[in-house]
Amino acid sequence: MTLSIRDVFSGRTPSLPIAYEADFRTYDFYGVRPFPAPVSVSGAVSNLSGVVSLDLTLRATAETLCASCGKPVSLPMEVPVHRLIVTALPADGDEEDELLLCPGGVLDLDETVNEAITLSMDVRPLCRPDCKGVCFACGADLNRGPCRCAPRVHPELAKLQELL
């Protein structure tokens, strides 16, 4: 999504609303495509006394798998984005806000939206905070209670135990 923001820079348009659905179906996060439904992008580019800023809220639901037990999980996400938009980088790089360079007056939102989503993705999503996972031997869901597998003993240790 690109947006001409020349009128916001000139002050003719103090605020330009943004609302669209970003297609994230091909977005890949470590081999998973978590967004079959679009990411909703809403906010505005505004000029406040000559300072042009981008404020967005990204809303999406990540459809992924629990890192512990592998069950499907839906994680609602709400990601705020705030950037100052500049036509050139300042000489002293002392800004606290993150700058978005927009030299030609045309703002490309894709990279910013993509980056904000990636930074807020959960690298180890869990179906519940205390998910116990599944037994590697029998595949039982350990959240439902312990399975019947004996505690695994290393073969060398077993031999040692026989000698004792």
Least distance from Zn ion to the Cβ atom of residue 63, Å = 14
Query: Is residue 39 a contact residue for Zn ion (CB under 5 A)?
Result: no
The CA distance from 52 to 55, in Å, is 10
Size of the site for Zn ion (CB under 5 A): 11
Query: Is residue 3 a contact residue for Zn ion (CB under 5 A)?
Result: no
Buried b (16+ CB within 10 A) or exposed e, 97-130: eeebebeeeebebeebbeebbeeebeeebbbeee
Query: Is residue 66 a contact residue for Zn ion (CB under 5 A)?
Result: yes
Query: Is residue 131 a contact residue for Zn ion (CB under 5 A)?
Result: yes
Query: Is residue 135 a contact residue for Zn ion (CB under 5 A)?
Result: yes
The pair of structure tokens assigned to 9 is 């820079």
Query: Is residue 142 a contact residue for Zn ion (CB under 5 A)?
Result: no
Least distance from Zn ion to the Cβ atom of residue 106, Å = 44
Query: Is residue 69 a contact residue for Zn ion (CB under 5 A)?
Result: yes
Is the dihedral angle over the CA atoms 7, 10, 12, 16 positive or is it negative? Answer: positive
Query: Is residue 127 a contact residue for Zn ion (CB under 5 A)?
Result: yes
Q: For the chain, how big is the Rg over CA atoms in Å? A: 25
Q: Give the residues lining the site for Zn ion (CB under 5 A).
A: 66, 68-69, 127, 131, 135, 137-138, 140, 147, 149
